[in-house]
């Protein structure tokens, strides 16, 4: 059987291919596309019982109906998040849906700290200067993390890994989540209402999923509560931050810096080469012009360790489908007729 995978990145393809070859040998052939799944590319999946999707694919009602009509029965998403999938329609169509519920939390946590340090210590600006042999330190003054307060919004596996690193820096830990994590409490984290996290933190990092209740978690009110010299990092989902409110705050000269690995309108932009095109997204263009904002293209998860784990879990999800098994990765399982 041929299995089709959408949105496969160049560095991802060897890991995905090797994992499939070890698991399935000649039983299943993997066809990798660097195209994202949407209404224009969905005809390529015709006749494929198993489709592998990526986080930036569009699996709305129209695409899902097209897939189901042409023989798809399993959609295996190669990510933890699945807010790009119309779950109600998938359930209505009797599709099986799986995701990757876990991969290395250190990949994202470490990258979030890379953003925080790059913004806080002006590393990108310094690197640009030294490439032009400008070795002045004007405008590059940073500040110690030791003794300052970090707010961790979401203390699951990634948030806990982030907090562990913060503890190593000797920071005061504030946390916000629906439940307290004993591992974070053991680090000395104090769980407080989110208003206190915004008001008291020198650095805030977002590690919550994108849900209706967390959409625009960082809105105008939250930004108004933040210290004028605070740093904000988002390596989770773009929709957690109200971009218009963030731009208004930054234009007012507030916030020491912002590190964004995600953006709420990233679909159709991130993972693609737009260097020869006019950037039509004015909000993203404005963010990119600000000297205290660092934007990366949703790469926090992108390590050999994490991508390898994603490939292995995707293979297990396919094996579970053919064996009619469910697991913690199963989002929808139609069950017997």
Instruction: Give the percent of the chain with pLDDT over 90.
Output: 95
Residue 286 has pLDDT above 80, yes or no: yes
pLDDT digit string (tens) for 14-60?
Answer: 999 999 999 999 899 999 999 999 999 999 999 999 999 998 899 99
Q: What's the pLDDT at 336?
A: 57
Mean pLDDT of 124-137: 95
pLDDT digit string (tens) for 213-237?
Answer: 999 999 999 999 999 999 999 999 9
Residue 267 has pLDDT above 90, yes or no: no
pTM, whole model, 2 decimals?
0.91
86 neighbors 40 (Cβ within 8 angstroms): no
Kindly give the interhelix angle for 157-169 and 105-120, rounded to the nearest 10 degrees: 40
Q: Helix or strand or coil: residue 258?
A: strand
Q: From residue 226, how far is each of 82, 83, 85 by CA, in Å?
A: 30, 28, 33
User: Closest by alpha carbon to 180, among 193, 162, 170?
Assistant: 193
Q: How far apart are the C-alpha atoms of 321 and 337, rounded to whole Å?
A: 15
Residue indicated by tokens 């600006």? 125
**Which residues participate in catalysis according to the annotation?**
237, 266, 298
User: What confidence tier does 337 reach under pLDDT thresholds 50, 70, 90?
Assistant: very low
**19 phi/psi in degrees, rounded to 5:** -65, -40
Residue indicated by tokens 């995905």? 16
Pairing of strands 293-295, 74-77: unpaired
User: What confidence tier does 73 reach under pLDDT thresholds 50, 70, 90?
Assistant: very high
Mean pLDDT of 83-106: 95
Q: What's the pLDDT at 272?
A: 87
Q: From residue 41, how far is each of 67, 120, 135, 137, 159 by CA, in Å?
A: 11, 41, 49, 50, 36
155 neighbors 162 (Cβ within 8 angstroms): no
Instruction: Give the percent of the chain with pLDDT over 70.
Output: 99
Tokens of residue 46, six digits: 């015709």
Q: What is the mean pLDDT of the chain?
A: 96
pLDDT digit string (tens) for 290-313?
Answer: 999 999 999 999 999 999 999 999
Domains, the chain, ordered by start: 2-103+303-332 (3.40.50.720), 105-295 (3.40.50.720)
């Amino acid at each position: 059987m041929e299995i089709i995978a959408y949105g496969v990145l160049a560095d991802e393809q060897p890991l995905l291919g090797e994992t499939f070859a070890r698991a399935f040998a000649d039983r299943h052939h993997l066809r990798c596309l660097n195209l994202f799944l949407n209404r224009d590319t969905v005809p390529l999946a015709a006749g494929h019982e198993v489709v592998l999707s990526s986080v930036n694919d569009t699996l709305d009602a129209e695409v899902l109906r097209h897939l189901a009509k042409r023989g798809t029965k399993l959609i295996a998403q190669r990510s933890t998040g699945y807010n790009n999938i119309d779950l109600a329609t998938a359930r209505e169509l009797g599709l099986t849906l799986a995701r990757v519920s876990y991969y290395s939390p250190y990949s994202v946590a470490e990258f979030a700290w890379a953003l925080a340090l790059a913004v806080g210590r002006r590393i990108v600006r310094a690197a640009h200067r030294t490439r032009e042999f400008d070795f002045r330190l004007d405008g590059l003054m940073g500040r110690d993390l030791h003794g300052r307060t970090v707010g961790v919004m979401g203390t699951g596996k990634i948030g806990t890994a982030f907090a562990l690193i913060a503890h190593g820096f000797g920071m005061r830990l504030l946390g916000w989540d629906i439940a307290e994590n004993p591992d974070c409490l053991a680090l000395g984290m104090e769980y407080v209402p989110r208003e206190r996290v915004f008001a008291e933190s020198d650095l805030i990092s977002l590690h919550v999923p994108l849900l209706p209740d967390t959409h625009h978690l960082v809105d105008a009110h939250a930004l108004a509560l933040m210290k004028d010299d605070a740093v904000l990092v988002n390596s989770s989902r773009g929709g957690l931050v109200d971009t218009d409110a963030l731009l208004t705050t930054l234009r007012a000269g507030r916030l020491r810096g912002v590190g964004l690995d995600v953006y709420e309108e990233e679909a159709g932009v991130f993972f693609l080469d737009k260097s020869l095109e006019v950037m039509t997204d004015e909000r993203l263009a404005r963010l990119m012009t600000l000297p205290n904002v660092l934007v990366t293209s949703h790469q926090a998860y992108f390590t050999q360790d994490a991508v390898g784990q994603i490939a292995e879990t995707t293979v297990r999800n396919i094996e579970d489908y053919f064996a009619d098994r469910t697991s913690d990765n199963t989002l929808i399982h139609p069950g017997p007729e």
